[in-house]
Amino acid sequence: MQSYADKVVVITGSATGIGLSLAGQFGMDGAKVVVSGLPSDDLATAVAELEGRGITAVSCVCDVSQREDVENLAEFAFAEFGQVDVLVNNAGIGQGMTPLIDMDLEDFRRVFEVNIFGVVHGIQVFGKRFIGQGTPAAIYNLGSENSIYPCVPSAHAYVSSKHSVLAMTELLAEEVPDFIEVAIIMPGLVKSELTKNLGLGMETDDFTARILAQLKAGEFYAVSHAYNKVRLQERYEKIAAAYDTYAPRHEGDDAFDIRTLISKL
């Protein structure tokens, strides 16, 4: 979307951090925003901060791991404004660095419930409404630099959840009607609730300003931290080297390429 003026933007997990900063960026571009978060989040303060900047903002409690909560969020947003144009699946949780052999499975599942199923809930609930609405819309999912390489050692649940979000978003972009834009936002180290104990990272508003410019330009991969390209290239070169050694290209090697085969069905 080249402009978010008069658009209604719903952002999950937006009481603080990247979510709240994104709400500000969309709002300053003319959007009406719906911020959401857990019952323990200070949503009133988030709304007041946005309203203090002249942004139309309302809030709704939502635990994205609970399908009913996401459905209630959609009902609230549509009732409040009559339409929703953009969903940002921003809500996510992190984890400590724990060797996989020792990690508690309930902790692993909790990360997946929020970071993967929370995104699925948002896509399905709002996506169906967007299709029924039939007007230009967008679904933006929060991935991470961890979507393209494991940058945090022993963060198995978090890293694998963000890899999943990348795959899910790429496939989603192929499935939805042309009037629905899809993008993945891939922050590196940014000052947020997830990184507050580190006291390090790109300034949040600097990051979200970069992201908004890319979303307005219609980019699918919304990126920020330049050094990630080095890590991405390192991973690609190792995989490519394995293929060059043990499965080099040859004439007719597309005989078992799944994409080629599916295209012929």
Among 141, 148, 145, 144, residue whose Cα is nearest residue 171 = 141
Burial class (CB in 10 A: 0-12, 13-18, 19+), 177: exposed
∠ at Cα 215 (223, 94), nearest 5°?
Answer: 50
Residue 23 has phi, psi (to 5 degrees) of -60, -40
- CA distance from start to end of the chain: 34
- Dihedral pair phi/psi, residue 37, rounded to 5°: -175, -170
Catalytic (active site) residue 158: yes
Q: Can you give the length of the chain in residues?
A: 265
Residue located via tokens 């919304």: 222
Coil, strand, or helix at residue 182?
Answer: strand
> Of 4, 158, 227, 243, which is the active-site residue?
158
Q: For residue 213, what is the enclosing H or E element?
A: helix 204-216
Q: Provide the annotated active-site residues.
A: 158
